[in-house]
A = this chain, B = another copy of it.
C-alpha cells in the first residue's frame, strides 16, 4: 500500500517549497501561473489530496467544518427526514456531518457526544434522551454550539426547535370531544421522554377543561414497539367500559393501536406516516414537519457557529391536525 502523498512529496516533484504548494492548493494569490501549473501537474501525477486532519490542527482558531447530529435512531422515518434536512444545510455551508444514534440510552449518548467533541465538531444538533445534559456544559463552554431538536434538554440552556406538543394534544382531544366522545383513551411511549410527557399533559388538560375525569384504566405508558401498542389496545378493549376514541402519542404507537382497533372507534395519532391516507379508514394525525425542524435547527446552529451569541431561544414550529376520517368517527353521545 503506497503511503498517502504529502505536500512534501508534491513540493519535491514540482521543485518548489511546501509553502508554495500550500498556496496553490488553497488558491491563494501570489504564485506565478507557470509555477502553479507545475504544482498542479505534480498534484495530479501523485494523486495528492490535502490532509484536513493536519490542516485543522494548524489552523486552530478555525472551524473544522464538521457538525454532529445525534438522534434516537437513524432508522426512524421522522428522525431520518430531520437528519436529511440537516445534512442538506450542512452541505450548503461546506460542512460534513457526523451521525450517531443514542437509542434512548444516556450512556451511549454521552459516549457519542464525547467521540464527537474530541474530534472538535463545530456544533451539534441533539435530540436529547431523558435525563440531565449538564455534562454538555464543558463542551458548550469551549465553543461547541448545541441546538436541540424535537425535545429540549434539561440542565442546560440551549437553542431548541420543537413543536407545541401540549397544545397539539389538547387540540386533538378537543376535536374528539367535539365529535361526541367522552371516553377517550391515551396510549403512549415512555413518559420520561419530554415530548411524550407534554403530549400526555395536553391530554389531561383537555379532559379537565371539558370536565371529563381522567380514568387510569384507559391510559397506557411505556409502549416502545408497535406490537406493545397492539397488545395494550387489545387488552384495554377486553376490559369493562372500553374507550370510544384513542389518542396515540406517536406514529409507532398509532400503527400498533390501529391494528387492534375495531371499526367505529376513533383514532388520532401523533406523527404523519406514509400511507396514513390510503388506509381504511384513513388515519387522522397530528402532523409535524421534520424537514422544517431539521433545517431550522441547522440554520440556527450555523448562525451560532458564525458568531451569533444572542440569548438561547426556542423556536416552536406549528403542527397540523390532518382530519382524514379516523378521528371524525362520532362518539355515542
Contacts and interface: CB of A to CB of B under 8 A. Distances in A.
Interface of A: 1-5, 47, 49-54, 56-57, 64, 66, 73-77, 80-81, 83-84, 87-88, 91, 96-101, 108, 112, 114-120, 138, 141-143, 255, 258-259, 273-275, 278-280, 291
Nearest to A5: B142
A158 to B, nearest CB: 15
Contacts of A74: 74, 80, 83-84, 87
Number of copies: 2
20 contacts: A1-B143, A2-B141, A47-B141, A49-B118, A66-B119, A74-B84, A74-B87, A77-B77, A80-B80, A88-B101, A91-B100, A91-B108, A91-B112, A96-B115, A96-B116, A97-B99, A98-B99, A99-B99, A255-B274, A280-B280
A114 B77 contact: no
Contact of A98 (B2, B96, B117): B96
Contacts of A279: 275, 278-279
Contacts of A91: 100, 108, 112
A184 to B, nearest CB: 23
A115 B93 CA distance: 13
